[in-house]
Structure 1
């Protein structure tokens, strides 16, 4: 399995079972040109991971945080600052009633 494909600017960490916030911080600091980041199912990740992604990955086009249930605090508000983001994969998006999430969805659907 190819976890990081720099030709496409993509990192798929969904099968990396021992990653944590520090891992995400280190990876995003070194791979700041990432266009796609997948962390599906990594339930140990928290808002600190999202902070590192937002600070370090200004060119991110796709973010997949499906089943990363500990990083959803104000996610819509925070992702609005990431103007390059066009694809977001997360759980419970339909059940959230945050107006910022709906604005973010409209921007992503653009």
Structure 2
């Protein structure tokens, strides 16, 4: 079976959604569900149980490295996207479409 692949934009979307989820929890104490676009969710549903755990661990590592960079300023968001892309290429090499 061929490995499920994501674009860098999809990885950035997942990381940003997880950062938003953490921020909501820290502010309100409510553990919200992560909402992702259907095409991304469909791809994630194709990952096996072991693969999804490995994928989420890598995503969490990226979130932990870049979370403090998010301030909401446009320039900072551009820098955040660049940093996520750089780290994702390291942690999620097997999952990224070249």
Shorter-chain TM-score range? under 0.3
The structure whose residues are more often strand, as a share, is 1
TM-score norm. by structure 1 comes to: 0.21
